[in-house]
């Protein structure tokens, strides 16, 4: 069932809650792929009712980013959701979410702002304001849907860590369920932005996952020194890659690691054919 308004959605959810049913939410920006479908599958298994939100959230795009050209494929998304057993696809308009003529700035809109320590690094460093937009829209979706569980992919690991922190700091009565990265057989992490890549670009993009897998192999062989582990990356990079970061950080606090351990996540971001790609791996 497709629902476009907050009012209708709330009525449906209210009915389910009265029956004592558990509600799961999978927040997405649409352009669904196997990665999203793995989240949806987990949600359908775990919860009585599954709601997938499809909303390309304007306030999480920075100036110069791909808000306009971001893939919008609602008909296919709807079909995929139906086949996967989703109960509601919630696809509100920007007007429904933010009001008409609303100036989407912190001059006139209440924002949920994650801690600076969590956003001044990794993707937050180049995407200034991005996680403010993410936290604000996820907070809104949580208030609209009031789910018991919400499913987020480990692909966007910094986002996942920040949202878990938001839930804890604001005592939000929702349990965040992390879901593993889904990869092509080549190793490439699935992303809606992979659609922007040519065939050559997709081959070049493999460097990201190869670097991470190789670091994990080296770590398992006993190399803990982060400087030494980072150096193993350069063999995979050439001038097709604009490396943005390769960092070792704590899985909960995002503190930097100088010696890798089992709480370490390795984060990588690079541009290939001017498409910004991210990936990560837990050691």
User: Are the beta carbons of 59 and 43 closer than 8 angstroms?
Assistant: no
The residues, ordered by sequence, that sit 6+ positions from 82 with a Cβ below 8 Å of its Cβ are none
Least Å from the CB of residue 194 to its own copies = 31
Q: Return d(Cα 8, Cα 11) in angstroms, integer.
A: 5
Among 4, 79, 93, 109, interactor with its own copies by CB under 8 A: 109
Among 47, 56, 166, 189, interactor with its own copies by CB under 8 A: 166
Q: Is residue 115 near its own copies by the rule CB under 8 A?
A: yes
Smaller CB separation from its own copies, 171 or 274 = 171
Q: Is residue 144 near its own copies by the rule CB under 8 A?
A: yes
Bridge partners (DSSP) listed for residue 259: 225
Give me the helix-helix angle, 157-169 and 130-145, nearest 10°. 60
Maximal C-alpha separation, the chain: 58
The residues, ordered by sequence, that sit 6+ positions from 244 with a Cβ below 8 Å of its Cβ are 126, 269, 270, 271, 276
Q: Is residue 159 near its own copies by the rule CB under 8 A?
A: no
Q: Return d(Cα 25, Cα 86) in angstroms, integer.
A: 10
Q: Return d(Cα 283, Cα 266) in angstroms, integer.
A: 7
Distance of CA 215 to the CA centre of its chain: 23
Instruction: Give catalytic status of residue 130 as yes or no.
Output: no
User: Are the beta carbons of 132 and 223 closer than 8 angstroms?
Assistant: no
Smaller CB separation from its own copies, 19 or 238 = 19
Q: Is residue 117 near its own copies by the rule CB under 8 A?
A: yes
Least Å from the CB of residue 59 to its own copies = 11
Among 87, 136, 191, 209, interactor with its own copies by CB under 8 A: 136
Stretch of 22-30, 82-90, 169-177, 180-188 contacting its own copies, by CB under 8 A: 169-177
Q: Return d(Cα 218, Cα 168) in angstroms, integer.
A: 34
Least Å from the CB of residue 277 to its own copies = 28
Q: Is residue 100 near its own copies by the rule CB under 8 A?
A: no
Stretch of 167-175, 177-185, 212-220, 265-273 contacting its own copies, by CB under 8 A: 167-175
- Rg of the chain's alpha carbons, rounded to an integer? 19
Q: Is residue 121 near its own copies by the rule CB under 8 A?
A: no
Q: Is residue 107 near its own copies by the rule CB under 8 A?
A: yes
Bridge partners (DSSP) listed for residue 192: none
Stretch of 47-55, 73-81, 162-170, 228-236 contacting its own copies, by CB under 8 A: 162-170
Q: What does DSSP say about strands 88-90 and 49-54: parallel, antiparallel, or unpaired?
A: parallel
- Exactly one of 33, 36, 130, 241 is catalytic; which is it? 36
Least Å from the CB of residue 214 to its own copies = 34
Smaller CB separation from its own copies, 106 or 186 = 106
Which residues contact its own copies (rule: CB under 8 A)?
A: 6, 10, 106-117, 135-136, 139-140, 143-144, 146, 165-166, 169-173
**Residues that are catalytic:** 36
């Amino acid at each position: 069932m497709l629902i476009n308004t907050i009012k209708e959605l709330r009525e449906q959810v209210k009915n389910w809650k009265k029956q004592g049913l558990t509600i799961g939410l999978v927040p997405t920006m649409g352009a669904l792929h196997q990665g999203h479908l793995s989240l949806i599958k987990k949600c359908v298994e775990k919860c009585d009712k599954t709601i997938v939100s499809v909303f390309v959230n304007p306030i999480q795009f920075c100036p110069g980013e791909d808000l306009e050209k971001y893939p919008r494929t609602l008909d296919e998304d709807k079909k995929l959701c139906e086949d996967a057993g989703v109960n509601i696809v919630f696809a509100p308009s920007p007007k429904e979410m933010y009001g008409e003529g609303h100036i989407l700035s912190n001059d006139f809109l209440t924002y949920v702002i994650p801690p600076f320590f969590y956003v001044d690094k990794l993707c937050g460093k180049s995407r200034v304001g991005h996680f403010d937009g993410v936290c604000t829209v996820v907070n809104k979706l949580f208030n609209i849907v009031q789910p018991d569980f919400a499913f987020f992919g480990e692909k966007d690991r910094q986002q996942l860590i920040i949202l878990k922190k938001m839930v804890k700091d604001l005592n939000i009565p929702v349990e965040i369920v992390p879901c593993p990265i889904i990869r092509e057989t080549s190793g490439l992490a699935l992303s809606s932005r992979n659609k922007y890549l040519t065939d050559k670009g997709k081959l070049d993009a493999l460097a990201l996952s190869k670097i991470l897998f190789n670091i994990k192999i080296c770590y398992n062989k006993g190399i803990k020194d982060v400087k030494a582990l980072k150096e193993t990356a350069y063999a995979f990079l050439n001038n097709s890659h604009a490396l943005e970061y390769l960092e070792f950080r704590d899985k909960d606090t995002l503190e930097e690691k100088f010696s890798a351990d089992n709480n370490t996540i390795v984060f990588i971001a690079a541009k290939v054919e001017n498409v910004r790609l991210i990936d990560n791996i837990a050691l």
